[in-house]
């Protein structure tokens, strides 16, 4: 009998990257801002365990924007990654919606 060595699957060794959807509230178009960084605000809705009413909770994440293509008010999807800087642990994966120009 021969023993077969099984290799671990390529996907899932370290788990799956978290994905969040949020709106860009700040980009690098302003002078003096960090290059290739956008700030994404994610709104989470959950039911309050005591009162039972639905509550909105906002949180801001710094995300890496390699090509500096995302603008304020864009709806984007971000995914977790290795630490890029002191505050950046997310990268922008795709654009979901761009509001019409006024």
Taking only the tens place, the pLDDT of each residue in 75-92 is 999 999 999 999 999 999
Taking only the tens place, the pLDDT of each residue in 47-84 is 999 999 999 999 999 999 999 899 999 999 999 999 99
- In DSSP terms, 42 is beta-bridged to 59
- In DSSP terms, 38 is beta-bridged to 63
pLDDT band for 11, please (50, 70, 90 cuts).
low
Q: Under the phi-then-psi rule, with left for phi > 0, alpha for psi from -120 to 50, and beta for the rest, what region is 32?
A: left
Beta carbons of 58 and 43 less than 8 angstroms apart: yes
pTM: 0.79
Q: Where are the domains of the chain?
A: 19-97
Beta carbons of 65 and 37 less than 8 angstroms apart: yes
CATH number corresponding to 19-97: 2.40.50.140
Residue environment code for 17-26, b if the CB has 16+ CB neighbours within 10 A, otherwise e: eeebebbbeb
């Amino acid at each position: 009998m021969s023993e077969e060595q099984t290799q671990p699957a390529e996907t899932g060794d370290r788990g799956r990257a978290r994905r969040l959807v949020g709106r860009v509230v700040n980009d690098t178009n302003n002078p003096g801002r960090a290059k290739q960084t956008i700030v994404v605000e994610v709104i989470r809705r959950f039911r309050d365990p005591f009162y039972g009413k639905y509550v909105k909770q906002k949180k801001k994440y710094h995300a890496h924007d390699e090509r500096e293509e995302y603008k304020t008010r864009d709806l984007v999807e971000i995914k977790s990654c290795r630490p890029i800087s002191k505050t950046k642990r997310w990268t922008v994966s795709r654009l979901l919606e761009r509001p019409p120009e006024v």
